[in-house]
Amino acid sequence: MKRQRRAVYPGTFDPITNGHLDIIRRASAVFDRVTVAVISNPAKKALLSLPERMALIRRATQGLRGVEVASFSGLLVEFLRTVHGDVIIRGLRAISDFEYEFQMALMNRRLNRHAETVFMMPDERYTYLSSSLVKEVVRFGGQVRGLVPPPVERVLKAKFPKF
Ligand code: COA
């Protein structure tokens, strides 16, 4: 039987946006299984708890073939090993993402020589999107419809009840 190819798409997802979702869809069209790996102890302080971030990703990816959601802490390459992942997926939104991503890809490969990183470009509608921007817009009463899945919009509005 042909071995299944598993991709791991890591991030903070605080919260998941339609840009992340676009990458997950593209990855699921190329790989047999895609594990969305949510970091449990992000370097930046998260607004949403780990269970909240995971539940929103689960809802958003319902119905996508071969996609599952997991959490990890510590080194990404260790998680990749644990789930027998073949590649790390990263999204490249703009040239400005490249330098950091290049560093991470090479460090990950140094830590685990089997850890290959595959870069995917999201739809150009989402190239300016980030989780922080979305949170800021909602905090000050702006509209994020079309940029995040509807349940994410509802959760964010509940976190910033002033508007
Ligand atoms: N659409 C919209 N936004 C996107 C996006 C896309 N396709 N791709 C990235 N982003 C945004 C994210 O929302 C995030 O926005 P924010 O900074 O406002 O929160 C930003 O771009 C970068 O996020 P992301 O790509 O998810 O990276 P991250 O910083 O959240 O996660 C880890 C980085 C978790 C993958 C990395 O720190 C890691 O691997 N940590 C584990 C420890 C480790 O192994 N370290 C050694 C690595 S060499």
In our burial notation (b when 16+ CB lie closer than 10 A, e otherwise), range 53-83 reads bbebbeebbeebebbebeebeeebbebbeee
Domains and CATH numbers, the chain: 6-126 (3.40.50.620)
The residue whose CA is least distant from atom 43 of ligand 1 is: 75
- Pocket around ligand 1: residues whose beta carbon is below 6 Å from it? 10-12, 14, 17, 19-20, 23, 39, 75-76, 91, 93, 104, 107-108, 122, 126, 129-132
pTM of the model: 0.95
pLDDT the model gives residue 96: 87
Q: Is 73 a catalytic residue?
A: no
Q: What is the mean pLDDT of the chain?
A: 95
Q: How does pLDDT run across 91-142, given as a tens digit for each residue?
A: 999 888 899 999 999 999 999 999 999 999 999 999 999 999 999 999 999 9
Q: How does pLDDT run across 7-42, given as a tens digit for each residue?
A: 999 999 999 999 999 999 999 999 999 999 999 987
Q: Which ligand 1 atom minimizes the distance to the CA of 74? A: 42
